[in-house]
Amino acid sequence: MQQPEARASLDERLARALVPFLDTATSPLLLAVSGGPDSTALMHAARSGGARVHVATVDHALRAGSGEEAAGVGRLAAELGLGHTILTWDAPRRASGIQAAAREARYRLLAGHAARIGAGLVLTAHTLDDQAETVLMRLMAGSGPSGLAGMRRERALAPNIRLARPFIDIPKVDLVAYCEAHRLPFLRDPSNADVRFARARLRTLLPLLVEEGLNAARLGRLAVRAARDDAALGQRADAVLSEIAGGEEETLRLDGHRLRREPEAIVLRVVDAALDRVTPDHETAVPKRLERLESLVLDALLPALAEGRALRRTLRGALIEADDKGIIRLTAAPPRRAGGVRR
C-alpha cells in the first residue's frame, strides 16, 4: 500500500499541473474522460473546479460493452459531483485507418460539445508515456522538428476552443498509483495491447529501448527541445513571409531571389506557410508530407531560382509557379477532371 506522504506528493503534483487551467478559466472546462487510469485521475483531481467542470466520454462503439463502460464513467462523475455526457461516434467506419479515424472523430465530438456548453478549454489526460510513443512514431515516419516536438501542451481545437494536456510531463505509472491510492475504479483498453495497431506494436519495443537508455523522460526532453527549435524557426519563417509576400486576392506572390538567401530550413517553412495560406482547407484534408515539400523546394524550386528557369508544380492543392525573373506565384490549383487531369 502506498505511504500517506507518497500519496500526498502525488496529489500535490497533479494539483499543481491543473492550477494553470482551473485557476485561470473564466468559462466552463470540459474533461475528456475515457475511464482509463489517466483520465480517471484527471477527473478526480479536477473536481475541485466545482460546477465549472464538465465531463464527456466519447463512445466509439468499436467493441462490445463500450456503452456500459461510458455509463460507468458517468456514475463515477456523479459521485464526484460532476456532470457527464456520452458522445457517440455513429458514423460509417472504414476498413482501414480505424484508430486515426476514431481520433479525428473524438476531437470533433469534443469540440462540438465544448461549443454547446460554452467551454473554452478541453483537457485531456495524455501522459509522458503517450508523448514518448508519439515522438517515436514521428521519428519512424521521418518527421522534422515540428513532428518530433510531439503533442503540444496546448493547441487550438476549434474557433475559441483550446485543447490542453496538463499531465504531459507525468508518467502513466504515477496516474495509476493515484487511482489506486484513492481507490478509483478504472478501465484498461484492450486495444492498447492489440498488435494490429502500430502504437501497440511500438509499446512492445519500448522496454528494449529503455535498456539502452532511451526512456520516456529522454524522449519527452527531445520533444521539448524540438518544440523550442520549431518555435524559433517558425517565428523567423513568419517574418520572412511577411517581408517577401504580396499579390492579388487569390494569388500569393513571393520574391524568390530574396527567399533564396535564407537557410533551407527557413525556405521550407516559408513555402509551407504560403501553401497553407493559399489552400487553408486542404491542410486538414490531406496529411502533410515533409518529403514532398523537400522535393518541391530543395530539388526543384531552389535550383530553378538559382538558374533563372521557369517552374510549374502542384502540391497540397496549390499551383506553384516560378518565372525566369525569380517571382513565385501560388494559387489554388484548378479542380481535377475525371481521370485525374486538372482543368
DSSP string, 218-285: HHHHHHHHHHHHHHHHHHHHHHHHHHHEE--SS-EEEEHHHHHTS-HHHHHHHHHHHHHHH-TTHHHH
Contacts of 193 (CB under 8 A, 6+ apart): 200, 203
As a whole number of angstroms, the distance between CA 89 and CA 222 comes to 34
152: left (phi > 0), else alpha (psi -120 to 50), else beta?
Answer: beta
- Consult the annotation and say whether 242 binds a ligand: no
Residue 36 is labelled as binding a ligand: yes
All three cell numbers of 10, joined, read: 502525488
Nearest to 178 by CA among 333, 338, 14: 14
Residues counted in the chain: 343
Number of H helices, E strands in the chain: 14, 11
Q: Count CB atoms within 10 A of the CB of residue 341.
A: 7
Which residues does residue 53 pair with via DSSP β-bridges, in sequence order? Answer: 29
What distance in Å separates the CA atoms of residue 265 and residue 235, rounded to the nearest whole number? Answer: 12
- 238 appears as a binding residue in the annotation: no
The annotation status of 9 as a binding-site residue, yes or no, is no
Phi, psi dihedrals of residue 341, rounded to the nearest 5°: -90, 130
What's the burial of 122, exposed, middle or buried (CB within 10 Å: 0-12/13-18/19+)? Answer: buried
CB atoms closer than 10 angstroms to residue 110? 23
- The answer to the question of whether 145 is labelled as a binding residue is no
> From the annotation, which residues make up the binding site?
34-39
> From the annotation, which residues make up the binding site for ATP?
34-39
